[in-house]
Amino acid sequence: MSYIKALKCRECGREYPKEALHVCEYCFGPLEVAYKYDEIKKSLTKEAITRRPANMWRYRELLPIEGDPTVGAQVGFTPLIRARNLADSLGVKELYIKNDAVNYPTLSFKDRVVSVAISRAREMGFKVVACASTGNLANSVAANAAACGMESYVFIPFDLEQTKILGTLVYGSKVVSIQGTYDEVNRLSSEIAGKYGWAFVNINIRPYYAEGSKSFGFEIAEQLRWKLPRHIVVPMAGGSLITKIWKAFKEFEMLGFVEGIEKTRVYGAQAAGCAPIVTAVKTGSELIKPVRPNTIAKSLAIGNPADGYYSAKVIRESNGWAEDSTDEEIIDAMKLLAETEGVFAETAGGVTLAVTKKLIAQGRIPVDESIVISITGNGLKTQEALQGRLVLPPVINASLKEFDGLVKSLEKKYAARG
């Protein structure tokens, strides 16, 4: 049973058939999936969702596929952790971490969007899947394509570090390194998507792809026992995730699964070296002014975000705010998250926590209301960011005496025998 009604232009509202289309022919606005909400309302209940397996497809009526998912059956339902140690450190009462650093199979939230994109692409008859990426998206497309036996192409800028390519090459994906400026790589990717009949996940399949992010929001609401958080902080790259979390909350409210959305505020986080959306929010501008990224948070380094305008709109609509964080603050926050909660997030997670700290300090987020921090990727993938930033371990010879000396120097009392 399909609940997809049509594709609909976000600007002018024109409807299009549910095919591989992504731009409105009339106003060039982006297309979005519209659902048959009346029918969903009749057939989907909280109880039905609760009985289903713990993965993102438990919300399948609200995801844009017509049959069963054909890849990524295990994606999602990542932990929502009550972060008591971190809460103490930040001086707040009720803090949660939604942890997609452990999402299956490639340890980032991209597995959500990619498994929807590829499942939908297969339904539409595509044989080859592609993307242009410098990191998480590449890993996820390569892995998920491999898992369902599809051919995949991944386009990368030629100066990308070797270590970043390995996590894509290992899946047998055809990786093409493009020589040129970032803008040239970007334009060529769009041309290839237009010329070859491939499922380019974040171009011609984008309306379906982006919907996968809603599951991040659905899960938070369900894991909070069918309540919405009062405050949620979300990292912004292209800006799609924050808009889809908001859409998820709104859909749950419309279906009667949660209430009180007017009390929920959504906050956007970017790195100071790439903060076009934050700038727009702070200056009250409708326009997103493109920037040239310069930050260690590579997974957020999108200078001209496709959903920038819509992200700023969601932030305003929910009475939220946006902030950015410097490289130094990002590293400190990554360490704080790891040391207090045992969660090693990628640099983007550092951005989100650092921004949360700032918003609390500014009084924008009150200390006594529920707060969710969105962690979208795993720190093991961006270890180079910590190079030289951690105290290296002391080296001793294989001698108990030397170890005793070391313990003594730590000035801590341990119960030792003899």
By CB under 8 A, name the binding residues for another protein.
Answer: 22-23, 27-28, 131-134, 136-137, 155, 157, 182-183, 185-187, 189-191, 193, 200, 202-203, 206, 237-238, 286-287, 289-290, 302-306
The CB-of-257 to another protein minimum distance in angstroms stands at 30
The CB-of-274 to another protein minimum distance in angstroms stands at 11
* Cα angle 293, 294, 300; round to 5: 60
- In 3-state terms, what secondary structure has residue 177? strand
Cα separation of 335 and 32, whole Å?
38
* Nearer to another protein among residue 156 and residue 228 (C-beta): 156
Cα separation of 151 and 131, whole Å?
12
* Nearer to another protein among residue 105 and residue 305 (C-beta): 305
* Nearer to another protein among residue 130 and residue 228 (C-beta): 130
The CB-of-226 to another protein minimum distance in angstroms stands at 32
Buried b / exposed e over 110-124, threshold 16 CB at 10 Å, is bbbbbbbbbbbbbbe
The CB-of-17 to another protein minimum distance in angstroms stands at 20
- In 3-state terms, what secondary structure has residue 305? coil
The CB-of-8 to another protein minimum distance in angstroms stands at 17
The CB-of-195 to another protein minimum distance in angstroms stands at 10
What pairing do the DSSP bridges indicate for beta strands 128-132 and 199-200?
Answer: parallel
* Nearer to another protein among residue 154 and residue 258 (C-beta): 154
Helix (H) / strand (E) element for 152: namely strand 151-157
Cα separation of 58 and 76, whole Å?
10
CA 95 to chain centre: 19
* Nearer to another protein among residue 28 and residue 196 (C-beta): 28
Question: Nearest-CA neighbor of 30 among 6, 9, 4?
Answer: 9
* Nearer to another protein among residue 133 and residue 378 (C-beta): 133
* Nearer to another protein among residue 251 and residue 346 (C-beta): 346
Cα separation of 111 and 144, whole Å?
8
The CB-of-200 to another protein minimum distance in angstroms stands at 8
Quickly count helices (H) and strands (E) in the chain. Answer: 15, 13
